[in-house]
C-alpha cells in the first residue's frame, strides 16, 4: 500500500528539477514511479494499491483550526503533478483509494486493518509507523529516495524509542511542529519516552499522576486538555468508510500502451527500461520506438 502524497512530497524535495518537453515540472512523478518500480522488484508484492489525500479539509482541520496552519501553500510546481501521478498509477492498473474528510494515513490504516494478509506500507511519513504490528510493516525511505528500510516493531522501537502502539501517545506529549498541534508544554522526547516506558500510554500517565515528580506532574496536569486534543489529532483512524477490494489490488497488469504514451509525454526514457523488468508478461520490445 503506497502513500502517494508522502512519496510525491519526498520526491519533489529530494530530486533535482525535471521537466517535460513543455517545461512542466515532473520530478515528483518520476520519484513516485521510481519507488513503485523498486517496490515491485524488491518486495515482489502480490497486491498493490495507492492512497492519496483529497483537497477538502479533514476532520482534524475542523476540530483544530490551527492544524497544519503554519505550513506554506503547496508549491505550484508540485500541485500540478498530482493529476499526472494519478494517470500513471491508473495506467499501471493499480487501484487508487482516497476519502474526503480524511488523510491518506487514515485510508491506509483502514485498508491495512481490513486486509487478511501481511501488509507493507510504502511512505515517507513517520506517523505511519504507529500502524506497525505483527501484520503490518513500513517501507520507509532513509535518504531522499536513494534507499529504504523495512520497518517492523523492533526497528520502530530502535528509531522512535517507543513501541508503534505508543507513537500517538508520544506525540500527544511532545506535540508535532509539522502538524502544529501542541502536546504538553515543557515535555520533551526523553521525558515522554520515560513516562511511556513506565505507564504505557496517556491514560496510564494521568491515572498515576501522584507518582510522578512534582515538576513534571505540574506540566502534565496543566497540559491535559492539550494532550488529549493532540492524541486525537495524532491517532490514525482505522474506520474510514472505504472498502478494500483485494481482487482489484491483485490485478495490477500494466497497460503497456498507456504507460509508454505517458512516459513518452513526460520524457521518462530510463524508467521504460525498468518497466520492462517488472511488467507481468508484457512485451515492450515492439513499442520501444515510441520513446
Residue 273: what pLDDT?
74
Q: How far is CA 4 from CA 44, 50, 88, 231, in A?
A: 19, 6, 12, 24
Q: 215 and 83, same structural domain?
A: no
Question: Are residues 141 and 225 part of one domain?
Answer: no
- 280: its cell numbers: 507481468
DSSP 20: -
Structure confidence at residue 42 (pLDDT): 86
Of 234, 255, 276, the position where a domain reaches its end is 234
pLDDT of residue 142: 77
Q: Comparing C-alpha atoms, which of 265, 230, 240 is closest to residue 106?
A: 240
* pLDDT for 277: 65
Residue 3, C-alpha cell as written in the block: 502513500
Task: Examine the domain organization and report whether 97 and 147 are in the same domain.
Answer: yes
Residue ending a domain, among 234, 249, 279, is 234
pLDDT of res. 290: 31
Predicted local distance difference test score (pLDDT) of residue 272: 77
Alpha-carbon distance 291 to 288, whole Å? 6
* 148 lies in the same domain as 172: no
- Verify that 187 and 243 share a domain, yes or no: no
CATH of the domain at 48: 3.40.50.1010
Tell if the pTM clears 0.85, that is, is over it.
Answer: yes
Query: pLDDT below 50 — which residues of the chain?
Result: 281-291
Per-residue pLDDT at 287: 36
Q: Nearest 5°: CA angle at 103, between 98 and 104?
A: 55
Q: Which domain holds residue 198?
A: 164-234
**What was the pLDDT predicted at 250?**
93
Q: Residue 29: which of 50, 56, 58, 1 has the closest Cα? A: 50
Residues 126, 268 within the same domain: yes
Q: What is the pLDDT of residue 279?
A: 55
Residues 195-226 pLDDT 10s: 999 999 999 999 999 999 999 999 999 999 99
Our count of domains for the chain comes to 2
Same domain (yes/no): 101, 226: no
- 280, 254: one domain: yes
Same domain, 136 and 251: yes
Amino acid at each position: 500500500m503506497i502513500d502517494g502524497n508522502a512519496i510525491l512530497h519526498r520526491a519533489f524535495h529530494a530530486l533535482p528539477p525535471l521537466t517535460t518537453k513543455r517545461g512542466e515540472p515532473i520530478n515528483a512523478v518520476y520519484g513516485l514511479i521510481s519507488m513503485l518500480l523498486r517496490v515491485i522488484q524488491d518486495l515482489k508484492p502480490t497486491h498493490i494499491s495507492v492512497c492519496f489525500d483529497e483537497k477538502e479539509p479533514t476532520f482534524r482541520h475542523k476540530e483544530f483550526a490551527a492544524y497544519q496552519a503554519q505550513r506554506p501553500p503547496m508549491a505550484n510546481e508540485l500541485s500540478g503533478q498530482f493529476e499526472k501521478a494519478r494517470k500513471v498509477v491508473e495506467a499501471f492498473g493499480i487501484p487508487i483509494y482516497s476519502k474526503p474528510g480524511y488523510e491518506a494515513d487514515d485510508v491506509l490504516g483502514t485498508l491495512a486493518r481490513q486486509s487478511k494478509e501481511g501488509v507493507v506500507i510504502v511512505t515517507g511519513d513517520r506517523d505511519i509507523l504507529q500502524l506497525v504490528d505483527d501484520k503490518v510493516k513500513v517501507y520507509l525511505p532513509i535518504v531522499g529516495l536513494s534507499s529504504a528500510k523495512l520497518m517492523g516493531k523492533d526497528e520502530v522501537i530502535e528509531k522512535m524509542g517507543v513501541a508503534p502502539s505508543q507513537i500517538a501517545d508520544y506525540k500527544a506529549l511532545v506535540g508535532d511542529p509539522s502538524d502544529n498541534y501542541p502536546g504538553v508544554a515543557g515535555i520533551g522526547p526523553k521525558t515522554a519516552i520515560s513516562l511511556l516506558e513506565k505507564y504505557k500510554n496517556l491514560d496510564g500517565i494521568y491515572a498515576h499522576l501522584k507518582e510522578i515528580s512534582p515538576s513534571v506532574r505540574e506540566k502534565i496536569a496543566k497540559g491535559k486538555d492539550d494532550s488529549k486534543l493532540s492524541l486525537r489529532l495524532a491517532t490514525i483512524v482505522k474506520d474510514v468508510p472505504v472498502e478494500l477490494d483485494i481482487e482489484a489490488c491483485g490485478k495490477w497488469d500494466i497497460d503497456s500502451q498507456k504507460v509508454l504514451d505517458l512516459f513518452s509525454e513526460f520524457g521518462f526514457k530510463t524508467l521504460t527500461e525498468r518497466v520492462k523488468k517488472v511488467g507481468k508478461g508484457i512485451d515492450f520490445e515492439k513499442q520501444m520506438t515510441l520513446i
